[in-house]
Homo-oligomer: A and B are copies of this chain.
Amino acid sequence: MSANPVRNGAQALCDGLIGQGVTVCFANPGTSEMHFVGALDSRPQMRCVLGLAEGVVTGAADGYARMADRPAVTLLHLGPGLANGLSNLHNARRAGSPVINVVGDHAVDHLALDPPLASDIDSLARPMSDWVHRCVPGEDLQDAAAEAWLAATRHSGVATMILPADLAWSPATDGLRAPLATPSLAPVETAALRRAAAALQAPGRCLLLLGGHALRRAPARIAASIAARTGADILAETFNSRIERGGDAAPIAKLPYPIRLSLETLARYDRIVLIGADAPVAFFAYPDKPAILTPDGCEIVTLATRRQDVVRALEALADAVGTAVPPAFAAAETALPPGNAALTADIVSTIVATALPEGAIVVDESVTSGRAFFPVSQHGPAHDYLQLTGGAIGIGLPLATGAAIAAPGRRVIGLQADGSAMYSLQALWTQAREGLDVTTVIYANRRYAILQQEMINVGLPDYGPAAARMFEIDNPGLDWVALARGHGVEAARAETAAQFADLLRASLTRRGPFVIEAVI
């Protein structure tokens, strides 16, 4: 396109994104996106990262947003391409991650012919988007891109633009507009602040439940000092976008996932103050179990939602109720096993926690296996901790990929269940191609362990062999060393604690990705 002095629509759209500071594109393009791809040659500011499946693309955009605190753009191919990426967009939306999707569509006139690849992209996009916009002829696509950025940023969510191919290849007006300003977060309301302060000062037990940005280092420390002064407890939500932990971070436990434990945990509270968190409900309904996790009569006060300014909210709350220095926590006892011990999930998690390098980014999609990691790592070096947020398993490997793109120089460590890793294992190829410093630990238990537990929770503990076969993935067993190498990623298998510890340590200082299959 260098010979053409007039921008086309795809170039204008790119310019609009770049103008807003969107400089990473995760892509799996097709024919209808060719002009966007063509625009890359003359827009070196836009780094384009190829994923070999769309779940990689959207999950990486989520991971990027969580670490960069700004959106990447995805490039997806019509309805089916978007569809393949929706489950990780669901997770991104639940994480409050800003993501911009550019979904190509057929040329406007072509769509009327119902060609084989046509589908209702708008209907597909809406459930997993906070904002959907179909570009129309004559529209200024640089402006449209800036509006998409604004929507993703303002909603902390998913903004989807549908771009017909003919708009991408048609000449666009020349634009040198000033970028849009970053929207400010909605401030906390005075009444909410007063109610939260009253809840903390009333008799009885009170919980501060933190989510979203309240789990970053500075606001969480304010929350801890409020708790120290008022005698309240603190918990994080069960599934969190990003927790800044370790170092001088306030130690904050998570509300447990298993319904029995979450009910038990919350039973003691008379009042709960939500700070960037939602009122706790069961992840699933179960026969004969409550769906609302808080006890009857528990008062729930929202200080700030995830989309409000939780930092200012906490500062204001501290002003209202005062603060105190939180008690020093003794480091948890970390009993490392003998080197020849056979691996268990807990041993793997403990070794990772004790070997954590300063500044690591931990991506946890270990599902049932990695629960020992969180308490042990609390008092280790400073690190970020990213989780599956929306329950759509298969985000771990893509999330790690996007986080590594956003934070070069920091080691990413994926704690990865084998069953969920299989949904988007293609992310390993992107890690190899981009030379990303990601260590993936596969908890190879060769089953959907969570479903074995859920059969009990739903009242079917005595299931037989036909059902059991749906939870076992051991025949044949997946060979993660071969799978990783097939994608161009070096890998090794560990069967003892010493083997695992050696492989993990070696991986942390090398460049590029590495996979450890921890046979548990």
Residues of chain A having any CB pair with chain B under 8 Å: 1-3, 27, 29-32, 34-35, 37-38, 40-41, 43-44, 48, 50, 52-53, 55, 79-81, 83-84, 86-87, 90-91, 94, 106-107, 109-110, 113-117, 119-121, 123-124, 126-128, 165-166, 169, 239, 281-285, 287, 291-292, 389-392, 394, 419, 422-423, 425-426, 429, 432-433, 450-451, 454-455, 457-460, 462-467, 469-470, 473, 475-488
Known contacts: A31-B458, A464-B41, A483-B482. The answer to whether A79 contacts B127 by CB under 8 A is yes
A466 vs B38: C-alpha distance in the bound complex, in angstroms?
8
* Cβ distance A245 to chain B, nearest Cβ, rounded Å: 21
Q: Is B483 in contact with A486, judged by CB distance below 8 angstroms?
A: yes
| Copies of this chain, tallied across the complex | 2
- Nearest B-chain residue to A453, judged by Cβ: B31
* Cβ distance A180 to chain B, nearest Cβ, rounded Å: 26
Known contacts: A84-B423, A127-B120, A285-B165. The answer to whether A487 contacts B477 by CB under 8 A is no
- Nearest B-chain residue to A291, judged by Cβ: B110
Contacts of A391 in B (CB 8 A): 80, 116-117
Q: Is B460 in contact with A1, judged by CB distance below 8 angstroms?
A: yes
Contacts of A94 in B (CB 8 A): 116
A456 vs B3: C-alpha distance in the bound complex, in angstroms?
16
A481 vs B1: C-alpha distance in the bound complex, in angstroms?
40
Q: Identify the 3 closest CB pairs spanning chains A and B, nearest first.
A: A476-B488, A483-B486, A80-B392
Among candidates B29, B291, B487, residue contacting A478 with C-beta atoms closer than 8 Å: B487
Contacts of A43 in B (CB 8 A): 466
Contacts of A432 in B (CB 8 A): 476
Contacts of A394 in B (CB 8 A): 53, 84
Contacts of A479 in B (CB 8 A): 485-486, 488
Q: Is A469 in contact with B48, judged by CB distance below 8 angstroms?
A: yes
Known contacts: A52-B473, A84-B87, A169-B458. The answer to whether A41 contacts B284 by CB under 8 A is no
A2 vs B466: C-alpha distance in the bound complex, in angstroms?
13
A113 vs B294: C-alpha distance in the bound complex, in angstroms?
13
Contacts of A48 in B (CB 8 A): 466, 469-470
Contacts of A40 in B (CB 8 A): 466-467, 470
A205 vs B458: C-alpha distance in the bound complex, in angstroms?
66
A478 vs B81: C-alpha distance in the bound complex, in angstroms?
21
Contacts of A27 in B (CB 8 A): 470
- Nearest B-chain residue to A29, judged by Cβ: B470
* Cβ distance A151 to chain B, nearest Cβ, rounded Å: 18
A44 vs B480: C-alpha distance in the bound complex, in angstroms?
33
Known contacts: A52-B473, A482-B485, A483-B483. The answer to whether A86 contacts B90 by CB under 8 A is no
A113 vs B279: C-alpha distance in the bound complex, in angstroms?
9
* Cβ distance A284 to chain B, nearest Cβ, rounded Å: 5
Q: Is B478 in contact with A488, judged by CB distance below 8 angstroms?
A: yes
A239 vs B30: C-alpha distance in the bound complex, in angstroms?
18
- Nearest B-chain residue to A239, judged by Cβ: B116
Q: Is B34 in contact with A458, judged by CB distance below 8 angstroms?
A: yes
22 contacts between A and B (CB under 8 A): A31-B284, A35-B460, A38-B463, A41-B465, A52-B419, A52-B423, A79-B128, A80-B87, A80-B90, A83-B86, A83-B128, A86-B124, A90-B119, A113-B292, A116-B391, A117-B390, A117-B392, A422-B429, A429-B473, A478-B487, A479-B488, A482-B482
